[in-house]
Amino acid sequence: MTFAKITQVAHYAPQQVISNDDLAKIMDTSDEWIASRTGIRRRHISQTETTSELATHVAEELLQRSGTDASELDFIIIATITPDSLMPSTAARVQANIGAVKAFAFDVTAACSGFVFALSAAQKLLEGGSYRKGLVIGAETLSKTLDWSDRRTAVLFGDGAGGVLLEKSKEQHFLAESLHSDGSRGESLSSGVAALDSPFSEKGEDDKFLKMDGRAIFDFAIRDVTQSIIHLLAESGLPAESVDYFLLHQANSRILDKMAKKMGIDRQKFPANMMEYGNTSAASIPILLSECVQNNLIKLDGSQTILLAGFGGGLTWGSLIVKI
């Protein structure tokens, strides 16, 4: 049997940091409102770097830290809803930047669940037995999709990237998963609407801006996502106590508070960094994972069990339980 294992983690964010007070200078908001409703205090906003450039930093660091040559990579998967272009994909750009000549590369579009979906797909690629090493990276420049005159969304998001090196292993590390989508509720969170446009079609209306029904997404997270995590733990026979940390998508600290309470799990087991990054969609979980390793909370020595859970646009949601 062949299994997959996370062997290295890394993250990167643009240097420019925009505080809530900075935002209050350009829109009708306040540090008090943003911090008390979301937990967010700052976010990184790119001045020049594109999504593929943020992801390239992460890829280079993953290779350097693990002593891996780019030519050893079999695949690169980038989860993003803010690609530099639809074609070439962000993953193909990263492949060229790092010279991963042997790797096939593609993007996954599943919003804030993108990293979890991509990691699950990558695990299956390795467990198929034909591949040995690959990168899975979540990278976003959400700042380019925001309507900076809309205080209901502009204050919530940020730019950044995080990722993992996944390698073939003799032991099982991915213990259980549960992945979901509900396109019928998709309209509560949208961005990048591209209308038909040809001499042979009616001209529709483009809308690049991110739109969100915050209340609906909040309720969805508390109800559907919490329920799916509870089911996954029950089905897999892994009691919540056996999970060392719950690394959830970083949208709002109140969501984490309510989820922890509903699951009856100590809030200390839910690390958070949305105060520094805001919501970075597909990048939020790998940035958090990388910071947890940096802070020695997660040791990366195979001794701990973590649950990764993403939720957001699509709607999409999903969890992985991983020995790390």
Which residues of this chain interact with ligand ACO, rule CB under 6 A? 29, 33-34, 37-38, 111-112, 151-152, 155, 189, 214-215, 217-218, 221, 251-252, 255, 279, 281, 312-313
In the bound state with ligand ACO, the residue whose beta carbon lies nearer, of 165 and 217, is 217
Q: In the annotation, is 295 catalytic?
A: no
Q: Which of 20, 57, 112, 292 is catalytic?
A: 112
Query: Which of 11, 44, 249, 273 is flagged as catalytic?
Result: 249
Q: Residue 36 or residue 85: which is nearer to ligand ACO going by CB?
A: 36
User: Is residue 279 annotated as part of the catalytic site, yes or no?
Assistant: yes
- Helix H, strand E, coil C: the string for the chain is CCEEEEEEEEEECCCCEEEHHHHHCCCCCCHHHHHHHHCCCEEECCCCCCHHHHHHHHHHHHHHHHCCCHHHCCEEEEECCCCCCCCCCHHHHHHHHHCCCCCEEEEECCHHHHHHHHHHHHHHHHHCCCCCEEEEEEEEEHHHHCCCCCHHHHCCECEEEEEEEEEEECCCCEEEEEEEECHHHHHHEECCECCCCCCCCCCCCCECCCEECHHHHHHHHHHHHHHHHHHHHHHHCCCHHHCCEEEECCCCHHHHHHHHHHHCCCHHHCCCCHHHHCECHHHHHHHHHHHHHHCCCCCCCCCCEEEEEEEECCCEEEEEEEEC
Smallest distance, Å, CB 282 to ligand ACO? 9
Query: CA-CA distance, 122 to 124, in Å (whole number)?
Result: 5
* Shortest spacing between CB 158 and ligand ACO, in angstroms: 11
Find the angle CA(91)-CA(92)-CA(98) to the nearest 5 degrees: 85
44 part of the active site: no
Tokens of 111: 């919003």
Which position among 44, 273, 279, 292 bears the catalytic label?
279
Q: Which is nearer to ligand ACO, 273 or 279 (CB)?
A: 279
- Please, what is the minimum distance in Å from the beta carbon of residue 107 to ligand ACO? 16
Smallest gap, in angstroms, from Cβ of residue 86 to ligand ACO? 18
Q: Kindly state the smallest distance separating residue 295's Cβ from ligand ACO, in Å.
A: 24
Distance of closest approach, residue 286 Cβ to ligand ACO, in angstroms: 15
Query: Between 189 and 309, whose beta carbon lies closer to ligand ACO?
Result: 189
Residue 6 or 217 having the CB closest to ligand ACO = 217
Which CB sits closer to ligand ACO, 190 or 304? Answer: 190
Residues with active-site annotation: 112, 249, 279
